Structure 1
Amino acid sequence: MLKMDDFDIFSDETNFTRPLYKDVLNKYVKEIPVTPSGPNYQSGNKLMAEEYLMQNDNARCAFHLSEAVSASLRILALYRDEQLKGCENKQHKITSFIKPIKDIMESGPISKEDEKIFDLLSVDTEEVTKALSVFEIEEPEPFHRKYLKFSAENNVDNFQKILKELPKEWTVIQLTAPYNPNENLKPFDEYKTEIDSLYLSMFTNDYTEQCEFGPVTVNIPANVPGEGVKPLFTELYALLDENYKTIDNARLLNNKRLVQNYWSRREDIDLRMKSVLYVMDREWLGGWGCLLTGKLVDSELRHKIIKLVDDTIDDWGFIRLTLKQRVLLYNLIDSSPCLSSQQIKPCIRRILTEHGNPEDIRQHLPGDCQTCSKDFKITSELCLKCLMKCFEGVHKFALVDGIRAFSQAVTKVKDGEEWAALKKAKRHPVILIVDEMLDTFPWESLPILSQHPVSRIENIHFLYSLYKLHQDKIVDGYYAAKSDIGRYVINPENNLERMEKRMSSFIQYWCRSWSGHVSQPPPPDQFINHLTTSDVFLYCGHGDGCQFGNGGAGCGVEGATGTRCAALLSGCGSVRLQHGAGRGPPMAAHHHLRVAGSPMVVGMLWEVTDLEVDKMVSTLVSLYVPSDAPVPWPSVGKTNWSKGELDTNVEQKLPFTPEPDLLRAVSRARGSSNFVMIASSMVARGLPIRIL
């Protein structure tokens, strides 16, 4: 193979442009992929976002927040892409450098003053030109691949173009933890609980698009716990640790007293998880949970909400209400049937006072307050008394009257018969981009989201990349999937006997045409083949099972190119982020599957017990995958299911309604577990997917 050192990379002197070394350096800095430290890159962008939020520049704030999540996964994707290209094409490394140099040569004549420089660098240009001509130059990279890189393409204009290009049905929301300098000083286990707020950014939303208003970001302070009560983050991690120990010790139970103690601890853990969800919903997000909901399928309802809010604004004379405030109020009224008055009124107050025009607030800020200054950075720094005076100065009536005005609008929606359809209105998918620091929380189990089709994705870069990769299969905002081919791996380590009998009997009953491996691990190539050839892949065992693909094509699941399956991974923590030592970036199975282009991965956030998970997974598959089984799965007798026996000589208990929308099927499947701790662990990661 030719090496770059074997020849000078120049052609005929008449085609030269400016000094070559300058152009190559410029190309290197701007276009050759760089791999910054992921955590440092994220920290820097969080600081930039905060600066732009202080300047009331919502678009640039949202852009930098979008750059501040899962940067290390982008690095992994770029690295694996280069590796795979190198495996497929031995000349890739050379041609990747020749292409930009050829572009320089062909761009125009060289100036006379720089000719001497090229004389020093090139002797026999004709021979070099001949040597270069044998290489076939690769086609330019598509934009969605370039945007994964850390380059000039990553800018606010392209970010906004991407948001407009995504399917109109999607609501894309990002949840971001603020910058914490202790990330540079402390181990992860210490600083992971030090989160005092979050940034909630609506990238695409029903009302931002109606108003042609860019991304909107709000800062939501963490709840303040009462005396003797653990802070929310501390309680969550303590709860997960207790859950792990309880499940891990279950195998050692050998008498009735220990078994009773185990179930008592399980019930206590379940109650604590219910408490975590309550605090998340009522005391942390409060009314801001309205910003998480999906777009209404019925556009008439959306227009009614806009008219109600606009009429309220006109009737009461809110003369200086900003467009951002309008968008926030639209969303609040939209979701008000799912919220309590204790959540709604504080949110109205904050919208009216903290999200107005900063210059209007400065102009009316009283000068006699000892704690507030006109040099404030963000309006939430100001005391309530000053905010009330500023509101009155801007709008010419009291804040309490402003709150009353929109509270009356909320009452119309919550109590009026003409709004009954809103309470049960169907919504389009919600895609959550969740900061690695917030990923452990069960956002999908919040009351306001529990009935929604919700999926998580690592960042806007992978959302856009997956969308472009599968664009020809996206119909009405959903990946148009099939369920013709199913593959499975059940109990590959051969140490979960009852789970094996349950899931094997279910597969044999509901999915007879599927094939796979039971009680033994598949060879790596077959594991990769399962991922690339199936429409649905089911893994039932410990963890995520992706280790069984190591050594296969492409050296692991990242090499499973052409992946189209919905991967259901039912093991403990199968889609949990595992943080490395120091500031090492977190990694998870779905990261590797995402690099392989997998459109959807469903799995567990933490440790789970096999019987409850078997209930959820079998329910999920039975809802999503069509079957010719004689009796619907919910009606099948399961008294001896753990022995692999099913009773089909039963009457159908309730009407069975299949669910071709996988995200809605996940939501329904959570209800099949008796434990909130188990149900809330199941999450979907990827594109909305539906069987047409």
Structure 2
Amino acid sequence: MEDFDVFTNEIEYSGPAYKQILNKYLKEIPYTPNGINYESGKKLIAEECLADGLEKECAFHFTESVSSSVRTLAVYREEQIKNRGNKLSKITKYIEPVKNVIASSTITKDEERLLKLLPNDFEEITENLEKYVVSDELPLHKKYMRFGSENNVDNFLKILGEFPKEWTIVQLTSPYNPNENLKPFTDYRTEISSVYLTLLTNNYLDYMNFGPITVEVQANVTKVGEKPLFEELYSLLSENYNTIEKAEFLNKKSLIKNYWNRREDIDLRMKSVINVMYKEWLGGWSSLLTGQLADSVLRDNVIKHVDTVVSDWRLTRLTSKQKILLYNLLESSMSLCPQQIKSCVRMILTQHGDPDKVRQVLTDCESCSKEFRHLNELCFNCLSDCFDKIHHLSVMDVIRAFSEAANQIKDGDEWADLKKARRHPVILIVDEMLDTFPWETLPILAQQPVSRIENVHFLYSLYKEHQDRIVDGYFAAECNVGRYVVNPEKDLERMELRMSSFLKYWCESWRGHIGEPPTPEEFLDYLSNSDIFLYCGHGDGCHFAKSAANGAGVEGASGSRTAALLSGCGSVRLSRAPGRAPPSGPHHHLHIASCPIVIGMLWEVTDLEVDKVVSTLLSLYVPSDAPVDWKHVGKAKWSQGIIDTNVDIKGQFHPERDLLMAVSRARTATIFTMIASSLVARGLPVRIRGKSDEHLRKWRMELLSGWD
């Protein structure tokens, strides 16, 4: 650390001292740290690791930097429920330190004073203490949820290795911003200039035996006269809320016309946001978000295709990270435009090479220095010049070579299967700062199974809780028991008519409440004992469980296997209390209750369009004995509770037992982008398995024998 400068009133830290302070803070964090401060520290150390080329350490610290307050909530609620069920659990917590002191061969002065407070008859004390056996040995997925020594790089890599090989897990993280520790969220929420994209699990990482890897993507870059993307998103969401909120008071044709004009304008603005995200922000980096190819032959062909270019051009000094990025990029080239591909190839070749080799050949430049932290700090001329010297090739020639390879995939008949190839699930870990963006509706992800999760800790916990029911990367679900709560507050009459008529027609065996609220115990029973739970009303409905006898709210739902579909406004939105309080959402509480998946809305929506989406989703996913497929049923009088089955059927109905794919297909049921992009799934991939599946049949037999 350098001396204090009395003239500038600032302290400047040298690099080693800076890292020492960071490490000291991170190693001495309290048992339940302040969420925002903990996350900031983790982001800082992750950025330092990335600058030093420590990819695994960087990924670990980034995974620690998201949704940390939710971990504290989960641990706290688990302790509450445990103490309520076992009155001695708190006593044993207090006794354990005393037992440790008595059993220790060496004691401190403080411990010695503690022993003096106890009677001299240690044998009798020890005998009494043995009655209270302290059994607190927790499995790793519970230890990892806490803040302790188990949260380390080795356990992190072990956890990634345990996840199903079918999963592609990607984390999107906002960079460190000191204002997060000082200001309210609304004051700094648009101050994001880049996003870190961390690929945690992926086919090509396994193939190269390398990773995880992280890339920094420039964000919020705008053209002259344009509003920054973050500002535009929050602005249109505010206008969307105000427009919908005032809709019920419109009683003149001119006002109604103005309402629909505003709705159309908001919709166009959301389309523009998605377009800018995809084309100008992520560009070719969006290829890292795609799911793994189910057909391993296609994957091997992509590897061979890229390796051929590498071999032909003798690019022997490409790093493993560069190859992995190229594999992903060319695999997705059919979904990308030429400019996205060329730009991304250029960044892969010049900004993700070996920094030490670049320093060796970097020449003097007015704007560049050998003291750079990241290669993207160097100007394009220096990066190109260094690439030419390291590989003895022109970077422009190599860019053209890979662009041509991408064109061969896009135009070649032998690659036709790649465009419509089935893909395994994608699980996005989205930083709370980035959670409002509609990532799932990016064109490259629009037809893939995608879900979100709070962090690696919650993903691992849910996976371990339901591990016996995970088959081929999916939670093996049933759909026999369905429960619902429709219009419990009695003020959405047309929605009630629509959804009650749909449920009677398509889900005749389901039962629940229509036009009346359930009791707290009934609400918890629905969450605990149904395969699918549907809530249609304002918000998320979880407030109906608040006054339950167990006092635990929805977290008190036991052994939940429910796929929860909450169709109210903002039902899976992250909400923030005033000041610097951490965000929270109903899905947090449901995941704590082990609910495998929660589907809902990111912002305010209108009931008719949502009813179209929700009914389509359920008709795709839930098998039915209904005489006519829901897609073909006449709905001219649906808002009156009347559906017409006397129709001509055109085309064939294709059910979808993959719930995430059903969500993707259901978005097409509305013409409004604001409604479609609001629908997201949070949790594990879920699929209804066929009766012939051997693994599931075995699980069912074990379950039935347990009931006997």
**TM-score normalized with structure 2 length:** 0.91
Equivalent residue number for residue 333 of structure 1: 330
SS at 1:260 equivalent: helix
Kept in 1, the 8 Å contact 2:172–2:195? The answer is yes
For residues 249 and 113 of structure 1, the distance between their equivalents in structure 2, rounded to whole angstroms, comes to: 69
How far the C-alpha of 1:515 sits from its partner, in A, is 0.6
Q: Percent identity?
A: 61
Equivalent residue number for residue 424 of structure 1: 420
For residues 227 and 313 of structure 2, the distance between their equivalents in structure 1, rounded to whole angstroms, comes to: 43
How far the C-alpha of 1:649 sits from its partner, in A, is 1.2
For residues 604 and 538 of structure 1, the distance between their equivalents in structure 2, rounded to whole angstroms, comes to: 13
- Pairing 1:113-132 to 2, within 5 Å after superposition: 120=116, 122=118, 123-132=120-129
For residues 394 and 495 of structure 1, the distance between their equivalents in structure 2, rounded to whole angstroms, comes to: 69
Equivalent residue number for residue 277 of structure 1: 274
For residues 168 and 208 of structure 1, the distance between their equivalents in structure 2, rounded to whole angstroms, comes to: 11
Residue 487 (structure 2) pairs with residue 491 (structure 1): yes
Equivalent residue number for residue 370 of structure 1: 366
Aligned-residue CA RMSD (Å): 1.8
- Pairing 1:133-144 to 2, within 5 Å after superposition: 133-138=130-135, 140-144=137-141
Q: Deviations over 1:351-399 (max 9, x none)?
A: 00000000011011112x1110000011111000100110011000111
Residue 538 (structure 2) pairs with residue 545 (structure 1): no
How far the C-alpha of 1:110 sits from its partner, in A, is 5.1
How far the C-alpha of 1:335 sits from its partner, in A, is 0.5
For residues 551 and 629 of structure 2, the distance between their equivalents in structure 1, rounded to whole angstroms, comes to: 40
- Pairing 1:33-432 to 2, within 5 Å after superposition: 34-99=31-96, 102=99, 109=105, 120=116, 122=118, 123-138=120-135, 140-367=137-364, 369-432=365-428
Residue 572 (structure 2) pairs with residue 575 (structure 1): yes
How far the C-alpha of 1:609 sits from its partner, in A, is 0.4
SS at 1:671 equivalent: helix
Kept in 2, the 8 Å contact 1:620–1:665? The answer is yes
Partner AA of 1:450 in structure 2: A
Q: Deviations over 1:592-630 (max 9, x none)?
A: 101111100000000000000000000001111111011
Equivalent residue number for residue 695 of structure 2: none
Which runs of 5 or more residues in structure 2 are unaligned? 1-25, 690-708
Q: Deviations over 1:504-555 (max 9, x none)?
A: 0000000011110111111111101110010000000000000001111343
Equivalent residue number for residue 670 of structure 1: 667
Equivalent residue number for residue 3 of structure 1: none
Answer with 135-144 or 681-690: which moved more. Answer: 135-144
Residue 454 (structure 2) pairs with residue 458 (structure 1): yes
Answer with 644-653 or 39-48: which moved more. Answer: 644-653
CA distance 1:113–1:31, shift in 2 (3 Å): closer
SS at 1:670 equivalent: helix
SS at 1:594 equivalent: helix
Kept in 2, the 8 Å contact 1:243–1:607? The answer is yes
How far the C-alpha of 1:109 sits from its partner, in A, is 4.8
CA distance 1:301–1:116, shift in 2 (3 Å): closer
- Pairing 1:511-526 to 2, within 5 Å after superposition: 511-526=507-522
Kept in 1, the 8 Å contact 2:334–2:419? The answer is yes
How far the C-alpha of 1:320 sits from its partner, in A, is 1.0
Kept in 2, the 8 Å contact 1:490–1:504? The answer is yes
For residues 116 and 96 of structure 1, the distance between their equivalents in structure 2, rounded to whole angstroms, comes to: 20
CA distance 1:228–1:137, shift in 2 (3 Å): same
Equivalent residue number for residue 15 of structure 1: none
Equivalent residue number for residue 636 of structure 2: 639
For residues 284 and 100 of structure 1, the distance between their equivalents in structure 2, rounded to whole angstroms, comes to: 54
Answer with 73-82 or 549-558: which moved more. Answer: 549-558
CA distance 1:393–1:614, shift in 2 (3 Å): same
- Pairing 1:561-600 to 2, within 5 Å after superposition: 561-600=558-597
How far the C-alpha of 1:119 sits from its partner, in A, is 6.3
Equivalent residue number for residue 439 of structure 1: 435
How far the C-alpha of 1:97 sits from its partner, in A, is 4.2
Kept in 1, the 8 Å contact 2:598–2:681? The answer is yes
Equivalent residue number for residue 611 of structure 2: 614
Partner AA of 2:66 in structure 1: V
Equivalent residue number for residue 705 of structure 2: none
For residues 168 and 588 of structure 1, the distance between their equivalents in structure 2, rounded to whole angstroms, comes to: 29
For residues 678 and 45 of structure 1, the distance between their equivalents in structure 2, rounded to whole angstroms, comes to: 35
Kept in 2, the 8 Å contact 1:33–1:149? The answer is no
How far the C-alpha of 1:226 sits from its partner, in A, is 1.6
Residue 551 (structure 2) pairs with residue 557 (structure 1): no
Kept in 1, the 8 Å contact 2:101–2:107? The answer is no
For residues 495 and 356 of structure 1, the distance between their equivalents in structure 2, rounded to whole angstroms, comes to: 60
How far the C-alpha of 1:156 sits from its partner, in A, is 0.6
Partner AA of 2:298 in structure 1: L
Partner AA of 1:365 in structure 2: L
Kept in 2, the 8 Å contact 1:31–1:151? The answer is no
Equivalent residue number for residue 4 of structure 1: none
Q: Deviations over 1:206-258 (max 9, x none)?
A: 10011110201000011421221101000000010010011001011001111
How far the C-alpha of 1:129 sits from its partner, in A, is 1.2
How far the C-alpha of 1:112 sits from its partner, in A, is 13
Partner AA of 1:464 in structure 2: Y
Residue 465 (structure 2) pairs with residue 469 (structure 1): yes
For residues 274 and 403 of structure 1, the distance between their equivalents in structure 2, rounded to whole angstroms, comes to: 31
Which runs of 5 or more residues in structure 1 are unaligned? 1-28
Partner AA of 1:634 in structure 2: K
How far the C-alpha of 1:409 sits from its partner, in A, is 1.0
CA distance 1:31–1:181, shift in 2 (3 Å): closer
Q: Deviations over 1:83-108 (max 9, x none)?
A: 001100001012234446646766x7
Q: Deviations over 1:647-668 (max 9, x none)?
A: 0111222211111110000000
For residues 500 and 153 of structure 2, the distance between their equivalents in structure 1, rounded to whole angstroms, comes to: 51
SS at 2:137 equivalent: coil
CA distance 1:116–1:622, shift in 2 (3 Å): closer
SS at 2:406 equivalent: helix
Partner AA of 2:347 in structure 1: R
SS at 1:285 equivalent: helix
Kept in 1, the 8 Å contact 2:200–2:212? The answer is yes
SS at 2:544 equivalent: helix
Partner AA of 2:451 in structure 1: S
Answer with 474-483 or 179-188: which moved more. Answer: 179-188
Partner AA of 2:515 in structure 1: S
Answer with 382-391 or 645-654: which moved more. Answer: 645-654
Partner AA of 1:673 in structure 2: T
Equivalent residue number for residue 600 of structure 2: 603
How far the C-alpha of 1:154 sits from its partner, in A, is 0.2
CA distance 1:380–1:255, shift in 2 (3 Å): same
For residues 564 and 557 of structure 2, the distance between their equivalents in structure 1, rounded to whole angstroms, comes to: 13
For residues 65 and 177 of structure 1, the distance between their equivalents in structure 2, rounded to whole angstroms, comes to: 10
Partner AA of 1:621 in structure 2: L
